[in-house]
Structure 1
Amino acid sequence: MTKDEAVAAVRDYLQNVVLGSAEEEIAPDAPLLEWGILTSLTTVQLIGHIQTEYGIAIPHDRVVGSNFATIDNIANLLAELSGTPAQV
């Protein structure tokens, strides 16, 4: 999974499943934890979705706030775990 694919997939999930509306697009650098978009429960749900839908397992030691602070951070993590180098 490339970073761009990960950004699109995570944004789509957060907007449609977590927020229930795709009307307003979440910016890749929006502070998801600070804004309450990701909570402990929605983070676990997102991780489950990623593993089920894309076959990417996120190790427990990588489930830290800095990896889930923004869509960009999550996308970098997913690109790295799927073997595709993250692009800056």
Structure 2
Amino acid sequence: MDYDQTLKILLEFVEKHVLAGAGQTGSEPGLTAQTPLLEWGVLNSLRLTQLLGFIRDELQVDVSPELIVGRNFRDLDAITRLVISLHDDPARV
């Protein structure tokens, strides 16, 4: 699984579904791999559940409950690295 492609997929999902659900437009300037999603309140429990469902369904990666911690979801870079590590080593799930 490629980092850049995975990041692009996740970025598009967050712009289209998560930011729109947060009452923001899908074209927020400056949304990058390092945008602090948790710190800015972009991800809450409902939006995180939507994101986890997307990761499971579209990227074919299950994130186990013990990995759902702040450091893994603080920004798109951390989420992308988590998804890639789980995809490359499904035994970690």
TM-score band by shorter chain is 0.7 to 0.9
Is 2:17 the partner of 1:12? no
Shift of 1:24: 2.7
Which is higher, the Rg of structure 1 or of structure 2? Answer: 2
Q: Which has the higher helix share?
A: 2
Q: What are the within-5 Å matches in structure 2 for residues 50-65 of structure 1?
A: 50-65=55-70
Q: Relative to structure 2, which stretch is displaced further, 65-74 or 3-12?
A: 3-12
Q: What number of residue pairs does the alignment pair up?
A: 84
Question: 1 CA distance for matches of 2:86 and 2:60?
Answer: 10
Q: Which has the higher contact order (CA 8 A, sep 6+)?
A: 1
Question: 2 CA distance for matches of 1:40 and 1:23?
Answer: 21
Deviation >6 Å, runs of 4+: none
- Identical pairs, percent: 32
Name stretches of at least 5 consecutive residues in structure 1 with no aligned partner: none
Q: Which residue of 1 aligns with 2:23?
A: none
- Report the AA paired with residue 43 of structure 1: L
Is 2:50 the partner of 1:41? no
Is 2:29 the partner of 1:24? yes
Give the aligned CA root-mean-square deviation in angstroms. Answer: 1.5
User: Aligned to 1:81, which of 69, 82, 86?
Assistant: 86
Question: 2 CA distance for matches of 1:41 and 1:69?
Answer: 16
> What SS does structure 2 have at the residue aligned with 1:19?
helix
Question: 1 CA distance for matches of 2:45 and 2:28?
Answer: 24
Name stretches of at least 5 consecutive residues in structure 2 with no aligned partner: 21-25
Shift of 1:9: 1.1
